[in-house]
Amino acid sequence: MAKKVVPEEARRRRRPTRQGAVLSESLIVQTALRVLREHGSGGLTARRLGAALGADPSTLYRYFAGMDDLARAIGNELMGRALEGWEAAGDWRADLRALGLAVHSSYLAHPQAAVLTASRVSGRPREIAVDETVLGILRGRGLSDRAAVRFYHAFIDLALAFAALDAGALALPEEARGADEDMWDSIYARLPARTHPNIAATAPLLAARMPHSAYPVLLDTLLDRIAAEPATARPGG
């Protein structure tokens, strides 16, 4: 059974940790990102996080109901960072494209955290702010509410799906990731045209393209589809 989280006003009265820091949700999340970077998505434990903070592991439960609650807070942080570096320019397509790339980049900056959180819904303020922004852009484009929700779903799932996929590769040990990328030259490029004519014909292009994310291409495809959707009068949908 999850422990009760201590209210914010009660947390502020706590003494500094052994490292001289005053604990806060933000500090715990930032430290968790560092632990994930050093130990991977499977290495984030209350004991290890407590040691990194210089605090008893049980102290974490004053701020989070459990490690799953912390994972949601980490996802919320990554979403919030995407919105921090984004500014609306007033063109729906440019704005949506820039925001999608910002979400993707925010997660890839912390691949181990992305593997842990990309499939989660945090329900926290910074994630909600991203959702509100995306829906606002789509509704501002003149889409019906039904269409706006449909394309919001596609937009956010596409960004997070590719964040998880691309982060999974980045989270691999460098040697393993290099070996995977080398397959396009060491295996695919050597397949004979007699048995694999299509791969043989495109091998140099595959080797140049496949180590990179396909997310921008798919994002542009989605934006093309949104552009083709007819506008509708409000309210309705």
What value does the mean pLDDT take over residues 128-157?
97
Query: Both 105 and 222 in a single domain?
Result: yes
Query: Both 61 and 94 in a single domain?
Result: no
Residue with tokens 């704005």: 95
Give the tens place of pLDDT for each residue, 1-23: 445 555 555 544 356 655 556 89
Query: Both 45 and 112 in a single domain?
Result: no
Last residue of a domain, one of 65, 81, 103: 65
Query: Both 51 and 127 in a single domain?
Result: no
Task: Report the CATH number at residue 208.
Answer: 1.10.357.10
Task: Give the up-direction half-sphere exposure of residue 208: CA atoms within 13 A in the CB hemisphere.
Answer: 4
Residue 83 lies in a domain: no
**H/E segment holding residue 166:** helix 145-170
Residue 179: which domain range? 90-228
- Cis link prior to 197 (omega < 30° from 0)? no
The closest of 149, 154, 151 to 237, measured between CA atoms, is 149
Query: Both 45 and 94 in a single domain?
Result: no
DSSP string, 25-80: HHHHHHHHHHHHHHH-TT---HHHHHHHHTS-GGGGGGT-SSHHHHHHHHHHHHHH
Give the tens place of pLDDT for each residue, 52-103: 999 999 989 999 999 999 999 999 999 999 999 899 999 999 999 999 999 9
Residue 71 lies in a domain: no
Which comes out higher in pLDDT, residue 130 or 40? Answer: 130
Rounded to an integer, what distance in angstroms lies between the CA atom of residue 80 and that of residue 75?
9
Last residue of a domain, one of 25, 50, 65: 65
Query: Both 216 and 101 in a single domain?
Result: yes
Angle among Cα 62, 58, 41 to the nearest 5 degrees reads 95
Angle among Cα 223, 225, 228 to the nearest 5 degrees reads 110
Amino acid 10: pLDDT: 54
Share of residues in the chain with pLDDT > 70 (%): 89
Residue 183 lies in a domain: yes
Residue 75 lies in a domain: no
Which comes out higher in pLDDT, residue 4 or 236? Answer: 4
Query: Both 34 and 137 in a single domain?
Result: no
Total domain count for the chain?
A: 2
The closest of 42, 82, 44 to 163, measured between CA atoms, is 82
Considering the entire predicted model, what is its pTM?
A: 0.85
Residue 237's pLDDT band, with cuts at 50, 70 and 90, is very low
Q: How far apart are the first and last CA of the chain?
A: 42
Query: Both 184 and 105 in a single domain?
Result: yes
Amino acid 232: pLDDT: 86
Query: Both 51 and 103 in a single domain?
Result: no
Amino acid 9: pLDDT: 52
